[in-house]
Structures are given as structure tokens and as C-alpha cells.
Chains A and B, each alone.
Chain A
Amino acid sequence: MHPLPPYAALLGLSTARGEDGKLLWVMPFREQVVGRPGFLHGGAIAGLLEFAAFGCVYEALGGSEGVSVKPINVTVDFMRGGVELETYASGEITRLGSRIANVHAVAWQQDRDKPIAAAHMNLLLRRPS
């Protein structure tokens, strides 16, 4: 696992393993992630979703040394306001190609079946030639 960059620390992120063994991202509710009073900032949720998307790609690449992963684009849908609770996110690869990874990430709070936001992300992979 790559060490988490400074922006992940600003969001207060940590990682865990879900019951299904999948990588889970956890963001505590605290001042640094608040938007309007009492609710999460959309940008903080989007940041969390991006880490979940990147994380599952790095994990799938496993030991592939020297592969760089760059974002091409991200589309975030906001479904519910994020309230004063921990937020979880996990990513799932739709397709891992040689040059492109298509990833879907979901964020939820108490109930995984009630997502607060989801992201679709396309990532560019550069493998050492």
C-alpha cells in the first residue's frame, strides 16, 4: 500500500478491511470536512471517493512496480447530505486495461444501501516500457 499523502491526512482518512475483505476508506466527521453547518462538504466527500478509486487501482496493480496512475476525469453524484457521522467509501474496478482503468466508488454512512455519494472515475495508467 502506498503511504497516504498529506491531503488524506487533512481529511483524517484511514483504511480498514470490510467483511468482504475489500479495502474500506474511513473519514471521521470533524471540523476540517464540514461544509454548511452540521453537514459534510461536497469537496471532502469527493476527495474521499477519489482516494477510494485510486486505492483499488493501486491494490489491483499489486506489485507492478513503476506504474503511474493519473486521473483523467471524475463525475460525482451527490445523493444525500452527509451528517455528523463517520463516512465510509470503497471502490470497484469496472475494467482494468493496459492504459485505462474505469472505476466506480461509493460513499455511505450508517447504511451501505443508502449511499450519500458515488463517483465514476477514469484513470490513465503509464506502465514502464
Chain B
Amino acid sequence: MNRPDLSKMKGFDPELFTAYASQVGHGGALGILYHDHGPDWVELALDHDEKLIGVAETGVIASGPIISLMDMATSMAIWVKLDRFRHQATLDLRVDYMRAAKPGSRIYGRGECYAIRRSVGFVRGVAHDGDPADPVAHVAATFMFTKP
């Protein structure tokens, strides 16, 4: 699949973007999936995979893949809110780990964009393993726009 020319794309299609991002690079290595989206949020998913395990003895998923999942979900939340792709870089990202994910479960990452200013987009989100009311992690991040 060729990389779509995102800056020329009309609107922003998170499903199409994830289909591309899940075949290349780090997103491809993790196997990130599209799940759902709304006007200012995107929900992605990560299926259980042996290679994502962080603690061999417990089978619990490493925290790194959760950061990647949330980085992508929150990043895309900005683009759905803008209704276009815009070049940006993660400025900072904080994750609070509520609990370990249930071994073997699919992890959902829901990112929401709650404000966009001239140079910065503000996002938050949760990672959960089935019940959004009982999250695995809470996330807050900011993205800096690098092009108009």
C-alpha cells in the first residue's frame, strides 16, 4: 500500500490512515487496528500478541505499546477535529498506569482532542481492556504543529 498524500487528502479518514499506518513502521510492528471515531475522538485497538509482553512471568503487556497506541489515537483525534491532516510532533505525553491489563485481552486506546490553539493541540485519553469505565491507563499529551 502506497503512502497516501495526506496533505492533499480532503478531510481526514482515520480508518484509511490506520489501514496504512498498520502496515508500515512501528504501527505495523505492533499491529494497531482502527476501531471507531467521532468528531473529536479516535479509538484504536491492539490485539494481544506474545511479542508485546513486557513481563515474561505474568504475560502482562509492556507499557511501551500502550504509549504508542495512545500517541497514535490522540494524534489522530487532532486530525479528525481539524478535519484534515496537519504535520505535528508530540511535545510531551504523560501516562498514568491504573492497573495491569488483563493478560490476553485486546487493548483499546481512545484519544480525544479537547482544544486546538495556533501552535498546539491538547489531547487526553484512556486505554482500556473492554470497559472504558475501568481504564488501564489515563493519558494527557500535547502536540506542536510543525507546518501550517
User: Which A residues lie at the B interface, using CB under 8 A?
Assistant: 3, 5-7, 9-11, 31-35, 37, 41-44, 46-48, 50-51, 70-78, 81
* Total cross-chain contacts (CB, 8 A): 113
Further contacts, 7 of them, CB under 8 A, given A6-B52, A42-B93, A46-B64? A5-B54, A10-B29, A32-B25, A43-B26, A43-B67, A46-B71, A77-B91
B64 touches A41 (CB 8 A): no
B64 touches A75 (CB 8 A): no
B25 touches A31 (CB 8 A): yes
A34 touches B65 (CB 8 A): no
Shortest Cβ distance from residue B91 to the other chain A in the assembled complex, whole angstroms: 6
User: Which B residues lie at the A interface, using CB under 8 A?
Assistant: 3, 24-30, 50-56, 61-65, 67-69, 71-72, 89-97, 100
Q: Which 5 A-B pairs have the closest CB atoms?
A: A43-B68, A47-B64, A34-B25, A41-B26, A7-B62
Report the separation of the CA atoms of residues A44 and B52 in the bound assembly, to the nearest whole angstrom: 12
B65 touches A43 (CB 8 A): yes
A76 touches B92 (CB 8 A): yes
Residue in A32, A41, A73 with the greatest tally of chain B CB atoms within 10 Å = A41
B54 touches A7 (CB 8 A): yes
Name the A residues within 8 Å of B96 (CB-CB). 72-73
The verdict on A35 contacting B26 (CB below 8 Å), with A6-B53, A7-B52, A43-B68 known, is: yes
Report the separation of the CA atoms of residues A122 and B91 in the bound assembly, to the nearest whole angstrom: 20
Q: Which residue of A lies closest to B95 (CB)?
A: A74
Name the B residues within 8 Å of A71 (CB-CB). 63, 97
Name the A residues within 8 Å of B90 (CB-CB). 42, 76, 78
Q: Which residue of A lies closest to B138 (CB)?
A: A73
Name the A residues within 8 Å of B54 (CB-CB). 5, 7
Residue in A9, A44, A77 with the greatest tally of chain B CB atoms within 10 Å = A44
The verdict on A77 contacting B92 (CB below 8 Å), with A5-B56, A31-B25, A32-B26 known, is: yes
B24 touches A43 (CB 8 A): no
The verdict on A43 contacting B64 (CB below 8 Å), with A3-B56, A9-B51, A78-B92 known, is: yes
B95 touches A33 (CB 8 A): no
Shortest Cβ distance from residue B128 to the other chain A in the assembled complex, whole angstroms: 17
Q: Which residue of B lies closest to A33 (CB)?
A: B26
Report the separation of the CA atoms of residues A41 and B70 in the bound assembly, to the nearest whole angstrom: 12
A50 touches B64 (CB 8 A): yes
